Amino acid sequence: MPTSNSAHLEYTSHDLAQTQALGQLLGALLCPGDVVCLSGDLGAGKTVFAQGIGRGWGARERVTSPTFTLVHEHRRDADGTVFYHVDCYRLDGAGDAWGIGLEDLWHDEGFVVIEWPEHIQAALPAERLWIDFTFLGAQQRHLALQASGARYVGLLAALREQLSATG
């Protein structure tokens, strides 16, 4: 069950399906210009969560980890908007992010989900949704969602409503 304040939401997922389902709820709420940062150890559920985002948003294809390509671009049939899935694991600082033009993505027609954002933190926009993933057990994860900026506080409010409606 989630606990929260207006800029913070905590959620415990008991298995991969719940992690993906929370991502799916968030994905249905995301709009062009949004930036979502997914932070946590290897295997903590970041890509599973991103897969849920893709499903909830309506991505044409299955979302997979962009570790070796850095950025995967997904489109949806409904309106042709773009979901950029970025993996910054192999980047070393803001200079690397700026060097490959990542900041252009959060000014484009889509929204951006970034795995390993701590590797490029100085390059990120100040307003964003940051989600920390922590292992609690073999399948259990703790997700701490932190909103920075009015858009993201509103996004968390909408996500809370979705969670209440789904039980």
Non-local CB neighbours of 11 within 8 Å, separated by 6+ positions? 2, 22, 142, 143, 145, 163
Give the model's pLDDT for residue 97: 85
- Position 39 scores a pLDDT of 97
Kindly report the average pLDDT of the chain as a whole number.
Answer: 90
What pLDDT is attached to residue 4?
A: 54
Distance of CA 157 to the CA centre of its chain: 16
Residue 52 to residues 17, 20, 21, 84, 100: CA-CA distances in angstroms? 9, 4, 6, 14, 27
Sorted by where each begins, the domain ranges of the chain are 14-144
pLDDT at 64: 81
Q: What is the pLDDT of residue 103?
A: 81
**Predicted pLDDT at 23:** 97
- Three-state DSSP class for 68? coil
Q: Which residues of the chain have pLDDT under 50?
A: 1
pLDDT at 1: 44
- Assigned architecture for domain 14-144: 3-Layer(aba) Sandwich (3.40)
C-alpha span between 26 and 50 (Å, rounded):
10
pLDDT tens-digit readout, 23-71? 999 999 999 999 999 999 988 999 999 999 999 999 988 888 766 678 8
